[in-house]
Structure 1
Amino acid sequence: MKLLIINNLSSGFGDGAIYDFMRSFNRDGDEIVVRSTGGATDLRTFLHDAEHFDAVVAAGGDGTVASVAYVLAETGIPVLPFPAGTANLLASNLASPAEPHALAKMMREERLMDFDLGEISLEDGRTYGFSLMAGAGYDATIMEGAVAAKKLLGPMAYFTAAFSNPAPQFSQLTLTIDGETIQTQGVGVLIINFSKLQFDISITHENRPRDGLFDVVVMNTHDAIGLIPALLSCMLDRGGDFPARPDAIDLYRGSEVTVMADPPLAVQYDGEVTGATTPFTARLMPEAARFIVSEDCLKLYDEESAEPLLLDE
């Protein structure tokens, strides 16, 4: 096999797990090309010849994987999300192993699934791809506050940032979802593709990243304390109780969403801080990302009876 590895040196704890993956994967006749970035290099320069490889390994956090998947969107080029970041939520949503040798074995097994991908367009003309979720408001404030502590605290950096911001900006919100305008208010908006967060907590009842629609969540509260009942109901979902979400969360669905806020709210995607504020537009790209997945992933998304795609097809 011929692999292209995009290695983000600034992601996670810098433990070098990608090199363990390479040692475990490598066999006679294989070719592995590694292109490393500290976060400043435009990944498009690394992926200009991706079609000449059997697969691309995106080693980094969720933002790195989303960026690679976005550049390769709708090309059919397989991407292995290699969890080398802080939270690695996409790998968790895909039921992928975290251990490098298990990931090497999964690569050899060659199971592929196509998933929806999101595209976020900012007012200044910048566009980004996201696989998990994009949003504005409280979630973006948490992401920004966690940046400095991620290498020290890992996923707990997000909770520390949340607790240090108990009174996020409250705004009047205008959402346009597939042409329909909705007036509401709150401390934030989430545009969700994959819904699972840390500790197996899911914001929505179902995780539907292949259905051609976003879940749009409005945090309809004046402060962070008002979100606690919603968080508790999300935690209960893990036990299969599926409690109704409280009034602090409003849920909509659609494939194209524009968010305006007064006052403006900070914007993030897949944990990456954009430095921009609302308005923004999110557009869904149906089954645009092709990921290398585990057998558990096939079962999780009701594909256990289907014949999986293979790398050599």
Structure 2
Amino acid sequence: MRSLIIHNPQSGFGSDAVYEFERALLEGGDECVMRIMDDSWIPQQAVFDAESFDRIIISGGDGTVAHLMYALRGSSVPVCVFPSGTANLICASIGNAHEPAALALAVRRGHTTKLDLGEISWISETGVAHTHGIALMAGSGLDAQLMRTAIPHKKIFGEAAYFTAALSNLTPDVQTFTITVDGITYERQGIACLIANSAKFQADIELLPGVRMDDGLLSVIVLETKMTAELVKPLFTGIFDRSGKTLGRPHIEGFHGREIHIEISSPIPVEVDGEVFPDEARALDARVLPKACTVIVDSMSPYAQQ
């Protein structure tokens, strides 16, 4: 078996667990290429020879994983996501066991499923055009502001940096979002509007229950609150009602579709899978890329039987 491991050593706390994974993966006759990313890495260049490998392992945080999954869209080579970041929400959404030996076993067994990706585009207020892949979630408003605040502190505080950032912004700006999903338009007010391929959040909470990465749809999630503190209630219900069928998700509304257009009442920052962009935007366009990536799954994954 010929494997390619793409590792971003800047992700998370710089864990060496990926080398433990490599030792567990390799057997006699195998070949493994370890490709270490530097600060100037380009996703397309990192996977230029992807088709010459039997398996590709992406080791990094959600931003690294999302960039490389998007660069590999349409490829038939199976991808394994190895959690080396801070939150590792993409890996959590796929649902594999996180231990290096367990992931190595999953790679050797080679059970796969095809998962959707999203694609988001916008033109910033300075006229710069952006197009990026969505593996997990993209958003505008509070979530982008929290990401921007948390990034400098992630190396020290880990996931706690996100909660510290939330406490520093208790009264974010309320925006009017005009949302068009598959030709139907809705107008809502809130502090954030998210476009999700998966709604998995920290502590294994689903912001919007029932969102899957293999249903051929993207979801729009609107946080219809005026204060950050009001999000405590939906997060609390998420802990005790993961299905959302009993307590629901107060202050959160969702829409589902293939083509999405969002207009925002004033320019706000945008984040995609944890990466915050410096320019602000007034409008976003997104579309689903069905079954775009072949992903390795183990028996613990909710996608193992699909």
TM-score (norm 1): 0.91
Distance 1:51 1:186 in 2: 44
Report how far residue 167 of structure 1 moved: 1.2
CA distance in 1 between counterparts of 2:26 and 2:209 reads: 40
Distance in 2 between residues matched to 1:17 and 1:302, nearest whole Å: 24
- Judging changes above 3 Å, is the alpha-carbon distance between structure 1 residues 167 and 10 closer, same or farther for their aligned structure 2 residues? same
Unaligned runs of 5+ residues in structure 2 are none
| 1:126 counterpart SS class | strand
**Deviation string, structure 1 residues 99-150 (Cα, Å, up to 9, x no partner):** 2122111111111011111111121322111211111111111111110111
Aligned to 1:263: 266
- 5 Å-filtered alignment, 1:101-180, equals 101-123=101-123, 124-180=128-184
2:201 maps to what in 1? 197
Report what 1:284 is aligned to: 288
Structure 1 segments (4+ residues) deviating >4 Å: none
What SS does structure 2 have at the residue aligned with 1:20? Answer: helix
AA of the residue aligned to 2:266: P
C-alpha distance in structure 2 between counterparts of 1:134 and 1:63, whole Å? 11
Q: Which amino acid aligns with 1:68?
A: L
Q: Give the direction of change, closer, same or farther, for the CA distance of 1:40–1:237 in structure 2 (3 Å limit).
A: farther
Q: More displaced, 81-90 or 91-100?
A: 91-100
Farther-moved stretch of structure 1 (114-123 vs 89-98)? 89-98
**Partner in structure 1 of residue 276 of structure 2:** 273
Secondary structure at 1:166 match in 2: coil
Could you say which residue in structure 1 is the equivalent of 2:44? 44
2:191 alignment partner, one of 163, 187, 194 = 187
Q: CA deviation at 1:216?
A: 1.0
The amino acid of 1:32's aligned partner reads C
Q: Distance in 1 between matches of 2:269 and 2:75?
A: 31
* Contact 1:215 1:253 (C-alpha < 8 Å) held by counterparts: yes
Residue 145 of structure 2 aligns to a residue whose secondary structure is helix
Contact 1:79 / 1:291 at 8 angstroms: preserved in 2?
yes
Give the distance between the partners of 1:219 and 1:40, measured in 2 at CA. 35
Distance 2:304 2:108 in 1: 22
For residues 77 and 125 of structure 1, the distance between their equivalents in structure 2, rounded to whole angstroms, comes to 30
Contact persistence 1:205–1:237 (CA under 8 A) = no
Cα distance per residue 1:10-43 (max 9 Å; x no partner): 1011121111111121211111112211342112
User: Matched residues in 2 for 1:291 and 1:107: separation?
Assistant: 10
Q: What is the Cα-based RMSD across aligned positions, in Å?
A: 1.6
Distance 2:260 2:294 in 1: 23
Hey, what's the Cα distance between the residues in 2 that align with 1:42 and 1:259? 29
SS at match of 2:241: helix
Aligned AA (1:267): V
CA distance in 2, matches of 1:244, 1:15: 37
User: Which ranges in structure 1 are unaligned for 5 or more consecutive residues?
Assistant: 307-313
Counterparts of 1:219 and 1:237 in 2: how far apart (Å)?
A: 18
Worse overlay, 180-189 or 228-237: 228-237
SS at structure 2 position matched to 1:106 = helix
Contact 2:113–2:304 (Cα < 8 Å) also in 1: no
Instruction: Give the aligned residue type for 1:222.
Output: K
- 3-state DSSP of counterpart to 2:199: coil
Greater CA drift, 55-64 or 22-31: 22-31
* Partner Cα distance (1:156, 1:56) in 2: 31
Deviation at 1:212, TM superposition (A): 1.0
TM-superposed CA distance for 1:229, in Å, is: 2.1
- Aligned with 1:40: secondary structure? coil
Q: Partner of 2:76: helix, strand, or coil?
A: coil
Higher mean displacement: 118-127 or 60-69: 118-127
Q: Which residue identity does 2:89 align to in structure 1?
A: L
- The count of residues paired between Structure 1 and Structure 2 equals 301
Question: Is the contact between residue 136 and residue 277 of structure 1 (CA under 8 Å) also seen in structure 2?
Answer: no
Q: Which residue is equivalent to 2:255?
A: 252
1:209 maps to 2:213:
yes
Aligned with 1:24: secondary structure?
Answer: helix
User: Match for residue 309 of structure 1?
Assistant: none
Superposed, 1:13-52 pairs within 5 Å as 13-52=13-52
1:32-71 Cα deviation digits (max 9, x unpaired): 1122113421121111110000011110011111111101
Which residue matches 1:94? 94
- Tell me if the contact between 2:297 and 2:304 (Cα under 8 Å) persists in the aligned partners: no
Q: Take 2:149 and 2:130, find their aligned partners in 1: how far apart are those partners?
A: 22
